[in-house]
Amino acid sequence: AAFIILVLGKTGMRYTFRDWCDQRCTKFFDLVVKMLDCDLCISFWVALILCTLIAIATLDASFLLVPMFSTPLTRMLI
């Protein structure tokens, strides 16, 4: 998750998407814009997406607990 967030930040995709949402999205998506600025929030959501994909691939739902424990570690790595 930290690698993905760092790549998104270095390539500018994270900030480009934030600016795009800021200009074109409704008030409902203001939370998304704020989330893209928060390292803790984006760490959780990236980890949740990755773990959901892994849980589906392995048919093991215990992977869905990983984002709760990995989020603080990912934030420190960023």
Average pLDDT on 21-47 reads 79
Token pair of 56 as six digits: 């589906």
Reduced to 3 states (helix: H, G, I; strand: E, B; else coil), residue 25 is coil
The pLDDT value given to residue 55: 95
Burial 15-51, CB ≥16 within 10 A → b, else e: eeebeebeeeeeeeeeeebebbeebebbbbbbbbebb
pLDDT score at 53: 95
CA angle 1, 11, 75 (to 5 degrees): 30
Q: Is the pLDDT of residue 26 over 80?
A: no
